[in-house]
Structure 1
Amino acid sequence: MSTNPPNLRPDLAPKAIFDPSKRDGQPTIGMVSLGCPKALVDSERILTRLRAEGYQMSADYTGADAVIVNTCGFLDSAKAESLEAIGEALQENGKVIVTGCLGAEPDYITGVHPKVLAVTGPHQYEQVLDAVHKAVPPSPNPFVDLLPAQSVSLTPRHFSYLKISEGCNHACKFCIIPDMRGKLQSRPVHGILREAEKLVEAGVKELLVISQDTSAYGLDRRYSTHPWKDREVRSHITDLTRELGQLGAADDLWVRLHYVYPYPHVRDLIPIMADTSNAILPYLDIPFQHGHPDVLKRMARPAASAKVLDEIAAWRTDCPDITLRSTFIVGYPGETEAEFDYMLDWLKEANLDRVGCFKYENVAGARSNALPDHVAEEVKQERWDRFMEASQAISEAKLAAKVGQTIQVIVDDIDEDGIATCRTKADAPEIDGNLFIDEGTQALSVGDLVTVEVDEAGEYDLWGCISK
């Protein structure tokens, strides 16, 4: 049985799930999708278009006529992973088309791998399709293919990512996402709601709302209104959240918000989360990054960390069951021991439920590279260890308090031994913890929402039995 490791990177996408069926003579495309869930949505859109044109998808290199590698360029380590994936695809298949965030630096890719067929940037769907058509011409069956495109999902059928915007208006010194993906571009609210409704109708039990900055949704559209059902709805995160919550009841649909910056209007979301009759989970994923105001200023991020603590306290007053997860950076240039200790104290006072942590890395093109007083690698590691030790203690205490409680979980997997891997409302897929059911799972299926009694807790995971 596997347990949730403490250092899962939130920039890694879940492993893609493919349907292996194929008709005779059908051209086949492989897909390697790296990066965050937002990149996974890009992969799904590319494959949806290709499937509508008659292509089949392959889960391995050897079964594909060509391979698309959707890359990540968030950190230098992620860039190295992308280059490694491209090299592996070239070695195993030979025909490789590169897209995604690292594709914004084509010379960087072709300098290492000159034999790639094409390089395109993030969300450049038409250019990817053109490259595929050139490498592997379509051969559609008019009786089967060329139908209206049905969405390809690279995740298990019971949950799906719902991307509400592209790009970001922030200018954080350590991040180059705006350079790769551009400024904020929000989707119209009725288009998002229509997609969400179709996903629910198709059997999706959990919608994970993602973007670079979910709180800013609609700002670029000046919160324009659009007709939906019998009413007008604003392109605003509060209105969108309220409408998504009405797509199902809390006992048959979960809606989870990711990448929420702590703007003042976030407090308007809390009453929606506290209302147990709708589908919105009491869960906020907020990238705080640090607790010390001086470090936050050097990051070019909002620096009112003390006020954030007040906001957290207010959120918990209005919604006692709320789960808060975040990510932090240790070893940022200039970070002193006193600033790090301040962040540890801030973390303990915030008492966050789920926490991830990065050791700072220089990223080509990031303004933070030029900052003075870079922290030595051994100091970064020591601070990372101390940070994770503190966050682990918080997690362990919070999970221990759940022993004896009866809660709802969603089933993600059932292994050959009959052990069910599940998640609670406090756990997002791939990045948070799990709840394991060791026995009595014969009647369960992946995607079921079931009630369990928690009987054991670890540092990051729970164990339970089906409630009778």
Structure 2
Amino acid sequence: MSQNPPDLRPDLAPRLRLDAPARPGQPTIGMVSLGCPKALVDSERILTRLRAEGYAISPDYGGADAVIVNTCGFLDSAKAESLEAIGEALAENGRVIVTGCLGAEPDYITGAHPKVLAVTGPHQYEQVLDAVHAAVPPSPDPFIDLLPASGVTLTPRHYSYLKISEGCNHRCKFCIIPDMRGRLVSRPAHAVVREAEKLVQSGVKELLVISQDTSAYGADIRFAEDRGHRAHIDDLARDLGALGAWVRLHYVYPYPRVRNLVPLMAEGLVLPYLDIPFQHAHPETLKRMARPSAQTETLAEIAAWREICPDITLRSTFIVGYPGETEAEFQFLLDWMDEAQLDRVGCFQYEDVSGARSNALPGHVAPEVKQERWDRFMEKAQSISEAKLAAKVGSLQQVIVDDIDADGIATCRTKADAPEIDGNLFIDEGTNRLQVGEIVTVEVDEAGEYDLWGRLV
């Protein structure tokens, strides 16, 4: 019955959607985008610039004059996946430009694949364009090659990721993102709001706010105000909520000031959904991780959020088997889960990452112990999810329609579900008048471990 396996990786972006045909003789570029939604936004920006210069975008290797591979370098397993994708692009096309997080280690890439045309680092848009120009010179037709007002998007028309900042100021010992993407750099608030306005005008019904640390938005520019918009997450959330689309907040660190956002959810300006990377619950484990929230009384904060907004949905990710994690610390985490009752949970087994300070910590956990703890953790998370979804049977839910298949089954999401990483709600009757992107009301009549089923009201 379940559609989402418990080992679903919450850090992966949606699959690319490329289908625009090229005109005869038009230079064409392919794109492989790996990693998180933030990388997907980078891919969208690169392709938007290329489309503005007259390039067509190919959905496959064979139709492309060259291929850009936007890589992920967060985990060693992600690095291996990126190298594999580069190798596949070289084998299928032969002309490959590499960018993204793994591009911060060019020798690592060229050591494995010396035939790549160029390597650039994360969000180095100009260098990517220079590499494309060298490999495939542009040949625009000003009477035909017009850029859509909303730019190139790699997600369905009805939802879009909205990146509000780059980089991160934290120094968590297991993470190398600050080394790859640098310190926090917030976008001006008026630029974010203007982009959101254009997206909503073009038909976007849901804005997914993303960054490395959404709570810290604007701190680097002293929460500057420009053109009537203040660069603070509270103000930005209110400004975005006024546009009339669903607004979903991702990657919000569990600082006490998050409590200021929850009233906006209770008011209906922002979706009652918080994606908060807790990573662990035991204070000593969090200290070894060097988490900025190590001293936060998270259970008290969760209770406060739910008191303000009883319908709030909480999503998080955790790491099990972190160096030094004892059985007592892990059991503390399981007991904490019983108390916290989080709605959506993802979990990783710890692995060393080249350059991470956690590699040097003592007490590395044996692989079989990490696997056993992961199994126990996910069993706990699954049972909580199943009970919470069962409690929704008989309720009315607003859902957004993501897809309608040939058999007339509609795949939808409630306000509690982010695309690609959370569950779905399925409608299998009376969908002949539904359209993708439509928001409708459904009565829930069945629940599984991760998904719901319902009928149109």
Q: TM-score range by the shorter chain?
A: over 0.9
Number of equivalenced pairs:
457
Query: For residues 303 and 283 of structure 1, what CA distance do their matches in structure 2 show?
Result: 19
**Offset of residue 262 of structure 1:** 1.1
**Corresponding position of 1:89:** 89
SS in structure 2 at match of 1:281: coil
CA contact (8 A) 1:52 1:149 kept: no
Q: Go from structure 1 to structure 2 and tell me whether the alpha carbon gap of 1:389 and 1:147 turns closer, same or farther (over 3 Å shift).
A: closer
Counterparts of 1:206-355 in structure 2 under 5 Å?
Answer: 206-227=206-227, 232-248=228-244, 253-276=245-268, 278=269, 280-302=270-292, 304=294, 307-355=297-345
The residue type equivalent to 2:261 in the other structure is L
CA 1:463 to 1:50, structure 2 compared with 1: closer, same or farther past 3 Å? same
Whole-Å Cα distance in 1 between the matches of residues 298 and 150 of structure 2? Answer: 42
Q: 1:438 aligned to 428, 433, 455, which one?
A: 428
Aligned to 2:116: 116
Q: Deviations over 1:247-266 (max 9, x none)?
A: 11xxxx21000000011211
How far apart, in 1, do the equivalents of 2:392 and 2:146 lie? 51
1:461 maps to which of 443, 451, 456: 451
Contact (CA 8 Å) 1:294, 1:303: kept in 2 or not?
A: no
For 1:137-148, what aligned pairs fall within 5 Å after superposition? 137-145=137-145
CA gap of 1:203–1:150, structure 2 versus 1, over 3 A, is closer
Normalised to the residue count of structure 1, the TM-score between the two structures is: 0.96
Residue 445 of structure 1 deviates from its aligned partner by 1.2
Structure 1 spans left out of the alignment, 5+ residues = none
Q: Quote the Cα distance in structure 1 between the aligned partners of 2:45 and 2:296.
A: 41
CA distance in 2 between counterparts of 1:147 and 1:267 reads: 41
Is 1:128–2:131 an aligned residue pair?
no
Cα offset, 1:304, TM superposition:
4.4
Q: Does residue 1:198 correspond to 2:194, yes or no? A: no
Residues 431, 383 of structure 1: alpha-carbon distance in 2 compared, 3 angstrom cutoff: same
CA displacement 1:139-172 (0-9 Å, x = unmatched):
1112122668751000010000000000000000
Name structure 2 gaps, 5 residues minimum: none
Asked if structure 1 preserves the Cα contact closer than 8 Å seen for 2:255 and 2:296, the reply is no
Shift of 1:303: 5.2
**Residue type at the aligned position of 2:363:** D
- Matched with 1:168 is 168
How far the C-alpha of 1:307 sits from its partner, in A, is 1.1
Distance in 1, matches of 2:413 and 2:147, equals 36
Correspondence for 1:392 among 340, 361, 382: 382
- Asked if the contact 2:321/2:369 (under 8 Å) is kept, the reply is yes
2:398 is matched with 408
Whole-Å Cα distance in 2 between the matches of residues 57 and 147 of structure 1? Answer: 12
The one-letter code sitting in structure 2 at the alignment partner of 1:395 is S
**What letter is aligned with 2:367?**
E
Letter in structure 1 aligned against 2:237: T
In structure 2, what is the Cα distance between the partners aligned to 1:97 and 1:386? Answer: 42
Q: In the alignment, is the contact (CA less than 8 A) between 2:29 and 2:66 conserved in 1?
A: yes
Instruction: Determine the C-alpha separation between the residues in 1 that align with 2:384 and 2:293.
Output: 24
Q: Secondary structure in 1 aligned to 2:193?
A: helix
1:66-85 matches, within 5 Å, as 66-85=66-85
Supply the distance in 1 between the matched residues of 2:158 and 2:66 (Cα, whole angstroms).
Answer: 29
Conserved in 2, the CA contact under 8 Å of 1:52 and 1:150? Answer: no
Per-residue CA distance 1:26-70 (angstroms, 9 max, x = gap): 111000000100000000000000000000101110111100000
Q: Tell me how large the CA RMSD over aligned residues is.
A: 1.2
Q: What CA distance in whole angstroms lies between the structure 2 residues aligned with 1:57 and 1:449?
A: 30
Q: Contact 2:253/2:293 (CA < 8 Å) preserved in 1?
A: no
The question of whether the paired residues in 2 share the 8 Å contact of 1:167 and 1:185 is answered with yes
> Residues 140 and 261 from structure 1, CA distance in 2 versus in 1: closer, same or farther, beyond 3 angstroms?
same
Q: TM-score when scaled to structure 2?
A: 0.98
Secondary structure in 2 aligned to 1:78? helix
Pair 1:285–1:121, CA change in 2 (3 A): same
Spell out, residue by residue over 1:283-302, the C-alpha distance to the aligned partner (whole angstroms, 9 max, x if none).
00000000000000000013
Structure 2 counterpart SS, 1:134: helix
SS at match of 2:88: helix
Closer, same or farther: CA 87–378 of 1 in aligned 2, 3 Å: same
Secondary structure of 2:450's partner? coil
